[in-house]
């Protein structure tokens, strides 16, 4: 028994960041026998060279998409090739702590009723040794209470059961929110989601994180997400709608104000 690793690689990824990520996988205390890396469209020469290097060191299977299709579709394409039911998601610019996979694999094997487990993250801009913030996520009843208020799971930290993800419809296109949309659908179908009370990933946010999470496009995605959730079999729809309307309008605030809000809710 083992587990798969699922990654999506895009041409805009810096080869140096990808190298750091792959190095953190190579140094894991528990190794995967099946690493799926999806090419989300053509890559740069530097990324191809990095892949050639790591294919000599790790059991990598490349899934090549001829054009960029976006994260959700790319992950769905790769999920098909994951040999094992347990799948660890890895972002190509993040750094996994050395015992990440061992901790999650052990937990998921000891708790067969859990469909997904994630963790807290430490965030950094460019230097992994300089932690700029910490995103603590809820678990248990706290996760149940918060799932319709904000995304309660750090996508880059999850290990999930492939069978449960497919049963919930897999990743579906919803710009900026493919992961959150999947968690909600899994939750509504009755699957149990948890977060381990530890940091398993150092996540690279970059200086442009807030800029990516504001503006009219993010606002529209929030409203689309709300409409999809309200069509599900969920309780207290008026409260959910009010929460999403507040969330969506926050995306239109000036970046300086949005930064203060993020500092309040992410720690």
* 168, 242: one domain: no
* 128, 240: one domain: no
CATH of the domain at 56: 3.90.550.10
* 202, 214: one domain: no
Tell me which of 206, 239, 259 is where a domain ends. 206
**pLDDT tens readout for residues 203-217:** 998 655 544 555 677
Could you tell me if residue 123 is left (phi over 0), alpha (psi between -120 and 50 degrees) or otherwise beta?
beta
Range of the domain at 59: 4-206
**pLDDT tens readout for residues 230-241:** 999 888 888 887
* 199, 111: one domain: yes
Sequence-distant (≥ 6) Cβ neighbours of residue 37 within 8 angstroms: 7, 8, 9, 51, 60, 61, 62, 63, 78
* 42, 85: one domain: yes
**Percentage with pLDDT > 90 across the chain:** 70
Sequence-distant (≥ 6) Cβ neighbours of residue 211 within 8 angstroms: 255
When divided into structural domains, the chain yields a total of 2
* 163, 260: one domain: no
* 25, 9: one domain: yes
For residue 254, count CB atoms less than 10 angstroms from its CB and return exposed for 0-12, middle for 13-18, buried for 19 or more. Answer: exposed
Q: What is the pTM of this model?
A: 0.89
* 179, 62: one domain: yes
Measured in whole angstroms, the distance separating CA 40 from the mean position of its chain's CA atoms is 16
Structure tokens at 102: 């061992």
Whole-number Å distance between alpha carbons of 173 and 73: 7
- For residues 43 and 246, the model is more confident at 43
* 28, 71: one domain: yes
DSSP for 218-264 reads HHHHHHHHHHHHHTSS-S-HHHHHHHHHHHHHHTTS-HHHHHHHHHH
* 164, 225: one domain: no
* 61, 108: one domain: yes
**pLDDT tens readout for residues 53-106:** 999 999 999 999 999 999 999 999 999 999 999 999 999 999 999 999 999 999
Q: Helix, strand or coil for residue 182?
A: helix
* 111, 235: one domain: no
């Amino acid at each position: 028994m083992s587990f798969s690793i699922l990654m999506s690689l895009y041409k805009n990824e810096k080869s140096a960041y990808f190298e750091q990520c792959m190095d953190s996988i190579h140094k894991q205390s528990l190794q995967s026998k099946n690493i799926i890396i999806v090419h989300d469209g053509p890559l740069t020469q530097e990324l191809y060279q990095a892949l050639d290097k790591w294919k000599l060191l790790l059991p990598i299977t490349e899934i090549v998409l001829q054009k960029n299709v976006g994260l959700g579709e790319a992950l769905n394409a790769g999920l098909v090739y994951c040999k094992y039911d347990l799948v660890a998601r890895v972002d190509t610019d993040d750094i996994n702590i050395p015992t990440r996979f061992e901790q999650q694999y052990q937990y998921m094997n000891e708790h067969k009723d859990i469909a997904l487990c994630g963790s807290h993250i430490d965030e950094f801009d460019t230097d992994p040794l300089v932690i700029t913030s910490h995103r603590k996520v809820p678990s248990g009843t706290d996760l149940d209470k918060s799932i319709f208020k904000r995304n309660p799971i750090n996508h880059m930290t999850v290990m999930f059961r492939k069978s449960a993800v497919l049963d919930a419809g897999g990743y579906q296109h919803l710009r900026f929110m493919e992961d959150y949309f999947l968690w909600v659908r899994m939750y509504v179908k009755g699957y149990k989601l948890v977060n381990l009370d530890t940091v398993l990933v150092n996540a690279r946010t970059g200086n442009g994180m807030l800029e990516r999470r504001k503006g009219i496009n993010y606002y529209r995605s929030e409203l689309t997400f709300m409409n999809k959730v309200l069509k599900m079999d969920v309780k207290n729809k008026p409260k959910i709608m009010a929460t999403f309307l507040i969330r969506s309008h926050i995306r239109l605030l000036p970046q300086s104000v949005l930064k203060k809000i993020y500092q309040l809710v992410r720690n």
